[in-house]
Amino acid sequence: MDKITTIALQRLVIFKDLNIETINLLTEKANLVDMEKGKTIFIDKDEVKQIYIVVTGKVSLYKISESGQKKVIFILDQGSLINEVILDDLSASINCEAFEKGKLLVFAKNDFLDIMKQDFELTKNVLNSFAIKVRRLYRQMKNTTTLNMEKKLAAKLWKLSKDYGQEVEEGVVINLKITITYLADMFGCARETTSRALKKLEDSGLIITKGRKIIIPDRSELAKYFKSCD
């Protein structure tokens, strides 16, 4: 395993505002590991003894239903703490795999907990990471219960364009290589259902598809669509 530099570690948002003693200790205890696209990091019910943080690339957290349907809950990128929920000594409650090639920072759970005890700023950052995920889940629950498929998809694409959008001549491109299958996994529904909803949004001029890239010509118009009552 490789090691991370102190400077590189300080750039990660999860480690913001920490004193230099904590940064040095984290650098000493951390290992840097490669992840290939599609690699399983851990699975539901695993006894995970490590804390994982994304350094480069992205990972996805997902659940598998009783019928075998995959549902992606989160896509996490640089600086994200992946599995703060295992700090309660219970097994993992979700699956994690590499969405794309990158690097992970890995800590032994007990080492990380010991450092949290020494620096409350780190504990606050971990709690904030957890709170962000909870708020995102609340939004997902709201959209799941109140919107039809086209509006659910529009809301998801709006959020992805906010998180991973890049300005281009035609609007904002979502800078992720997302297949229709992967979009379907985000909703836990059939590929065909997602494909039909995507086509309706494209026919309405709310999105443009180019290969695996999706462009939002006007994010405000997309927001009006999924927030409308009709």
Residues 226 and 99: their CA atoms lie apart, in Å, by 27
H/E stretch holding 196 reads helix 191-203
Q: How confident is the model at residue 167, as a pLDDT?
A: 94
Which residues lie across from 95 on neighbouring strands?
A: 62
Q: How confident is the model at residue 82, as a pLDDT?
A: 96
Give the confidence band of 147 by pLDDT, cuts at 50, 70, 90. Answer: low
Residue 89 burial by CB count (10 A; 0-12/13-18/19+): exposed, middle or buried? exposed
* DSSP symbols for 148-163: -HHHHHHHHHHHHHHH
pLDDT per residue over 88-105, tens digit each?
A: 778 899 999 999 999 999
3-state secondary structure of 59: strand
Q: Is the pLDDT of residue 146 over 60?
A: no
Average pLDDT for the chain: 91
Query: Which tokens in the block code for residue 179?
Result: 């297949």
Q: How confident is the model at residue 207, as a pLDDT?
A: 95
Q: Is the pLDDT of residue 86 over 80?
A: no
Domains of the chain with bracketed CATH = 6-143 (2.60.120.10), 148-227 (1.10.10.10)
pLDDT per residue over 103-140, tens digit each?
A: 999 999 999 999 999 999 999 999 999 999 999 888 77
**Residues contacting residue 184 through CB under 8 Å, at least 6 positions apart:** 190, 191, 193, 194
